[in-house]
């Protein structure tokens, strides 16, 4: 294949990646509006933060046509990969403790036994 052909292949690939990343954001936002409680909204919210960001960063790297930006883009994504689970954990913990949940929608609540046990311990003291 000639250089021009490769150029257009890379352009189409990055265009598809950009559109896919943006549609993941749209999916998360629709989930924010449609889902009934905090926990299921969190499930929707983390998609664009990790996968969507990854797709758009790859598209950017392809468009710039140079290898030197890839480490920076990888760093940006790795940082996102480290911080998103931590903030999701903190939000879900706070949500559980302040009773922002619908127990009737859960099929199993594995944390309930632990919380009950901790409560017993506290009253025994």
Positions that interact with another protein (CB under 8 A): 11-12, 14-16, 18-19, 21-23, 25-26, 28-30, 32-33, 38, 41-42, 45, 48-49, 52-53, 56-57, 59-60, 63-64, 69, 72, 75-76, 79-80, 83, 86-87, 90-91, 93-95, 97-100
| Least gap, CB of 108 to another protein (angstroms) | 20
The smaller minimum CB distance to another protein, of residues 23 and 117, is found at 23
Report the distance separating Cα 122 and Cα 125, nearest Å. Answer: 6
Closer of 29 and 114 to another protein (Cβ): 29
CA separation for the pair 85, 118 (Å, rounded): 25
Question: Shortest approach of another protein to residue 64 CB, angstroms?
Answer: 6
Residue 73 CB, nearest approach to another protein (Å): 8
**Minimal distance, residue 110 CB to another protein, in Å:** 20
CA distance 62 to 7: 10
Which ranges of 35-109 does DSSP label H, i.e. alpha helix? 38-47, 53-64, 70-97
Are 59 and 18 spatial neighbours (Cβ–Cβ below 8 Å)? yes
Is residue 80 within 8 Å of 47, Cβ to Cβ?
Answer: no
- Residue 43's H or E segment, with its range, is helix 38-47
**Contact call for residues 88 and 46 (beta carbons, < 8 A):** yes
Q: Which is nearer to another protein, 83 or 117 (CB)?
A: 83
Please identify, using beta-carbon distances, which residue of 11 and 117 lies nearer to another protein: 11
């Amino acid at each position: 294949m000639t250089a021009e052909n490769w150029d257009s292949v890379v352009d189409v690939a990055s265009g598809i990646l950009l559109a896919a990343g943006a549609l993941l954001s749209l999916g998360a936002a629709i989930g924010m509006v449609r889902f009934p409680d905090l926990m299921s909204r969190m499930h929707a919210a983390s998609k664009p933060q990790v996968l969507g960001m990854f797709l758009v960063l790859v598209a950017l790297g392809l468009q710039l046509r140079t290898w030197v930006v890839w480490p920076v883009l990888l760093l940006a994504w790795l940082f996102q990969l480290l911080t998103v689970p931590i903030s999701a954990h903190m939000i879900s913990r706070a949500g559980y403790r302040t009773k922002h949940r619908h127990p009737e929608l859960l099929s199993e609540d594995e944390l309930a036994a632990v919380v009950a046990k901790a409560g017993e311990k506290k009253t025994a003291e």
